[in-house]
Amino acid sequence: MSHPELPSLTDATIREYLAGSAVPVAVDVWAQWCPPCGPMARTLAELQPEFAGRLVIATLNADDNPGTARAHGIMSLPTLLIFQNGSVTQRLVGARPKSVLRQLLAGVLTPYANV
């Protein structure tokens, strides 16, 4: 489920958004009918302030944007795609607790820690 505190991407905007980002982007792919998608979006929104300026968390509705979902072979929701320099570097399928999501997102930043 989308969260008002997170940017919402579409098939039409995702490429430009990723190209314009100087930091990694985590895209939460969700659908309205998906029971675990709402809690996952809320958890990601809670984590966003911890990563502000270092990583962006955005959402994308798979039903409204089937091109992106198809292009990335998304078969289950929620799916979290981690983009670095415009390419998917990691994916996480299924809802996870906050501690797991925090660890995944922090791990994305590790290569940048000494830059």
User: Which residue in 67, 74, 70 sits closest to 28, CA to CA?
Assistant: 74
Query: Active site residue: 9, 26, 34, 47, which one?
Result: 34
Active site residue 34: yes
Active site residue 72: no
Query: Active site residue: 6, 26, 37, 101, which one?
Result: 37
User: Which residue in 19, 24, 20, 17 sits closest to 110, CA to CA?
Assistant: 24
User: How do beta strands 56-61 and 25-30 pair?
Assistant: parallel
Catalytic site residues? 34, 37
